[in-house]
Structure 1
Amino acid sequence: MKKIVTLICLALIAVGYAQKKKEIYLFTSFREPATAGLYLAYSEDGYTWKGLEGSFLKPEIGASKIMRDPSIVKGADNTYHLVWTTDWKGGNGFGYASSKDLMHWSAQEYIPVMKNEPEVVNVWAPEIFYDDVKKEYIIIWASTIPFRFEKGQEEEKNNHRMYYVTTKDFKVFSPAKLYYEPGFSVIDCVIVKKGKKEYVLVLKDNTRPMRNIKVAFGKSALGPFGKSSEPFTAHLSEGPTVVKVGNKWLIYYDNYGEKNYKASATSDFIHFEDVSSKISLPEGHKHGTITTISEDVLKGLMDRK
């Protein structure tokens, strides 16, 4: 009898420990004019977000020394890896830094991923994804190379396609290659692993008539991805990021035409429900990505001086 009671007590302790160590959602962000650097917000339910005071990483690299579109992922090594846009126009790379606690960061590095493309106009919104199949990181971004692709109403210097590199250690990178060519100008792509061999690419159709968000499907993190869907957001929306909450995926995005943030919920990336009335974000929140942190990491962020 004592043995049974002991086992029950140990089980209850284990449950209590698991509850105590629950993961907290963390949303990266920046504020215009993008010189202050990395802002963070946290949430326990994935819908209501509270901002953490001040910048957590001031940009020091790139010609403009700005940080836009900070994308973060927690690697298999429990290290947070961050990439960001360093220049609105000009530049052939993106910024990179890593941290264990989001307060103490490695030296910032400029990764010139498009150094072999002398005509490249920009490197926009790098998005980082950890491929748990190949045990490597994939970074995708949008660049314009004038006269490389057919265009619609876009100017030659605004006709984007998606490119990528892979790395296992952020020291050695594969050569940059074309990632997604849908036949139109595309930016702000996010890779989502939906199933064991099912991936979703959430993307912004950046053509002048559209400028809204769509999805495409593939069987690996590197694609190929099929034809994009019809848009599920309104005109003038961009910067999607995706997080799974319960059995639903939430897609947050910048509804910049109306100067607000919105979110859609989906279980299959085919049917979408507008859940914007259920979300709350700090004022000024801009294009970032969502990861998770422990309660201990959150406490450190809140207690920092």
Structure 2
Amino acid sequence: MMKRAYLFLLVLLAGLVSCQQASEKEYYVFTTFREPADKGLFLAYSEDGYHWSDLGGPYLAPEIGNQKVMRDPSVVQGPDGTFHMVWTSSWRGDLGFGYASTTDFINWSEQQFIEVMTDTSTVNVWAPELFYDDGGERFIIIWASTIPFKFEKGEEEERNNHRMYYTTTRDFKTFTETKLFLDPGFSVIDCVIVKRKKDDYVLVLKDNTRPNRNISVAFGKSPLGPFDNYSEPFTGFLTEGPTAVKIGNDYLIYYDSYGDKSYRAVKTSDFTVFTDISGDISLPEGHKHGTIVKVSKDVIDKLLQAKSEKFQ
């Protein structure tokens, strides 16, 4: 009897450990697009943040904007579980960007065009990026725009001299007045806000000046800055579209190395030392930059079913 009771306890303990491990398992979705960006949203998923499997697409076809493209899809999950997405809707001419929301990446709200720039000489609204500010209980949206002759420039021509702007919202119905988010003294695009802890934020950014066109970081005490202590670039020439995800004690920063038509990543624990891990990652062919968001297993199961039914 004692032996059987002991074996029963061992089996029970093993089952509890297995259930705990299953509950702790994490899943990630990577939003992406396929050139020339006119088809819409494509997705990939991962269970470790390093190796990504194709989920196919498009899950959402672009319907708004002058050119009706869907580039740079940025997603963040709100406190109620809803995923909110913004994207670049045109290369030139739009004074805003696209927006839609979902709970499963399959069924989406009606698409909206959110106009944010009032200066009609604005050339573009590029790569809107979402960040949920839990301290302020609001969503922050940042993007790059060019207003010719507004800022000093280097070798860039006036229609390619970008600065970062922002607006905030609590419900994606009303938005605060657009303000300047970042003027580092050079053309800048593709910024991503990362919160490490309270009053400790990192901004990942692309220096878009002609001689550089690479990625670095800066630091601030608020998600709206000011940001300073700009680092040296940790990527090579012709790189863009960074997105960051925390895996264990490390942050992985994925980016598009468009100069050599590859997708790469670095790992860092302190945003000071960056280790190239491009040989340790795998992504679907044609993957372009978007964002990574943590999801439940239920969302992954539904997406795998959708892929098998629609995108084979």
TM-score (norm 2): 0.93
Residues 11-50 of structure 1: pairs in structure 2 closer than 5 A: 13=16, 16=19, 19-20=22-23, 22-50=25-53
Distance 1:180 1:11 in 2: 53
Contact 2:167 2:176 in 1 (8 A): yes
Contact 1:182 1:228 in 2 (8 A): no
Distance 1:77 1:33 in 2: 34
Contact 1:21 1:294 in 2 (8 A): no
Name the SS for the 1:221 alignment partner: coil
Contact 2:26 2:48 in 1 (8 A): no
Contact 1:22 1:294 in 2 (8 A): no
Q: Which of 167, 177, 198 is residue 179 of structure 2 equivalent to?
A: 177
Q: Which runs of 5+ in 2 are unaligned?
A: none
Distance 1:14 1:134 in 2: 38
Residues 65-84 of structure 1: pairs in structure 2 closer than 5 A: 65-84=68-87
Contact 1:182 1:227 in 2 (8 A): no
Q: Which of 81, 86, 89 is residue 86 of structure 1 equivalent to?
A: 89
Q: Which of 271, 274, 284 is residue 272 of structure 1 equivalent to?
A: 274
1:138 paired to 2:140: yes
What fraction of aligned residue pairs are identical, expressed as a percent? Answer: 62
Cα deviations across residues 61-81 of structure 1 (Å, max 9, x unaligned)? 011111000000111110000
The corresponding residue for 2:290 is: 288
Give RMSD over aligned pairs.
1.9
Contact 2:25 2:47 in 1 (8 A): no
1:112 paired to 2:115: yes
Q: Which shifted more, 283-292 or 15-24?
A: 15-24
* Over 3 Å off, 4+ runs: 8-15
The structural deviation recorded for 1:117 is 1.1
Distance 2:18 2:54 in 1: 30
The structural deviation recorded for 1:25 is 1.0
The corresponding residue for 1:63 is: 66
Cα deviations across residues 177-226 of structure 1 (Å, max 9, x unaligned)? 00011000000000000122110000000000100001000001111101
TM-score (norm 1): 0.95
Distance 2:18 2:304 in 1: 26
The corresponding residue for 1:237 is: 239
The structural deviation recorded for 1:23 is 2.6
Q: Which of 194, 209, 212 is residue 192 of structure 1 equivalent to?
A: 194
Distance 1:113 1:221 in 2: 19
Cα deviations across residues 86-111 of structure 1 (Å, max 9, x unaligned)? 00111100000000111000000000
The corresponding residue for 2:204 is: 202
Distance 1:292 1:117 in 2: 36
Name the SS for the 2:303 alignment partner: helix
1:159 paired to 2:144: no
The corresponding residue for 1:254 is: 256
Letter in 2 for 1:295: K
Distance 1:121 1:110 in 2: 17
The corresponding residue for 2:300 is: 298
Q: Which of 221, 234, 237 is residue 219 of structure 1 equivalent to?
A: 221
The structural deviation recorded for 1:143 is 0.1
The structural deviation recorded for 1:12 is 5.8
Letter in 2 for 1:101: D
The number of aligned residues is 301
Cα deviations across residues 242-301 of structure 1 (Å, max 9, x unaligned)? 001111100000011111001000000011000000000100000100001111111101
Shift of the 165–18 alpha-carbon distance from structure 1 to 2, 3 Å rule, reads: farther
Distance 2:18 2:130 in 1: 33
